[in-house]
Amino acid sequence: MSAESETREARLHQGRQLQIVIALSAGILLLEVAGGLLSGSLALLSDAGHVLTDVLALVLSLMAVRFASLPATPAKTYGYHRIEILTALVNGTLLIGISIAILYKAVGRFLDPVPIHSGVMMAVAGAGLVANLVGVALLSGAPQSLNLRGARMHVVSDAFASIGVLLAGLVISVTGWRRLDPLVGGGIAVVIAVGALGLVREAVDVLLEATPAGIDLDDVSRAIATVPGVVEVHDLHIWSITTGLAALSGHVRLDGQGRDTSDEMLNRIKQTVRDRFGIVHTTLQIESIGYKELGDVH
């Protein structure tokens, strides 16, 4: 099975996992709205808004997975893999916005705490936590991608929020110290923001066709140069088509002294790149020792 086919199969599996998590999150949303109205808890109602935003983000992730599974066309020669990266960028940006909103709410609730029914608050938060943990387990067990990591971060952020609400409700019920709720919420917002910034940075790197993390361009060049008959490697580029699908292009100059044909040399170089760095999508130009480059080398 080709790397593209394996990636497509992984995307289909991710889609099935996302559908289950969306259903769980939608259930949490309805539960928290009902619990917030019954208990008068602004924390639960605010978290319900957070979950609603996450449900929408998960739906976007599912749409991205479906599009990424479509085959390439003459107009879209790499297929629709980059939709996944764009969605991850949107999800990361959305998480940052959610974090800012939570911090804003936390300040307001710290300055002006409101009375709540902590028993209902804890019961709903506990049920939400269980459902979120199931969602995290499902998404952690699926083949990973940048888009799926973004979706998982949404569910993880919901789990942290449930823990915060649960602990805050417990302490409030024992001590009556209602200002703990916004303090916990603010801490959760900071954790979410830090993870979201990393997600946005990785998505931007893919869109800018940066060298994938974990692969050193100079190491790849040196590895190709160790193949007998290779005298020079230049114009080498490595980028990610999507998460887990790296691509390479470059020019390789041969000494012309070996008995191997250019096809045999090409296969030997491709095998070296595949075995050493896991790069299976390669485009290499084989040149003779006397070849004169036309145009700019980039």
Where do the H-state alpha helices sit in 69-179? 81-111, 118-141, 146-175
pLDDT in tens, 14-65: 777 788 888 888 998 899 888 878 876 777 777 777 787 778 777 877 776 6
| In contact, 84 and 145? CB cutoff 8 Å | yes
Percent of the chain at pLDDT > 70 equals 88
Provide the edge-to-edge strand list for the sheet that holds 230-242.
230-242, 245-254, 281-287
CA triple 30-33-39, angle to 5 deg: 135
pLDDT of residue 271: 94
pLDDT of residue 41: 75
Least confident range of 2-6, 54-58, 136-140: 2-6
Domain boundaries, the chain: 3-207, 217-287
Q: Which fold has domain 3-207?
A: Alpha-lytic protease prodomain-like (1.20.1510)
Contacts of 144 (CB under 8 A, 6+ apart): 243, 244
pLDDT of residue 172: 84
Select the CATH number that applies to the domain covering 217-287 from these four: 3.30.230.10, 3.40.50.200, 3.30.70.1350, 1.10.10.10.
3.30.70.1350
pLDDT in tens, 89-105: 888 888 888 889 888 88
For 201, counting Cβ atoms within 10 Å of its Cβ (0-12 exposed, 13-18 middle, 19+ buried), the class is exposed
Buried b (16+ CB within 10 A) or exposed e, 279-293: bbbbebebbeeeeee
Average pLDDT, the chain: 82
pTM score: 0.74
Q: Is 260 helix (H, G, I), strand (E, B) or coil?
A: coil
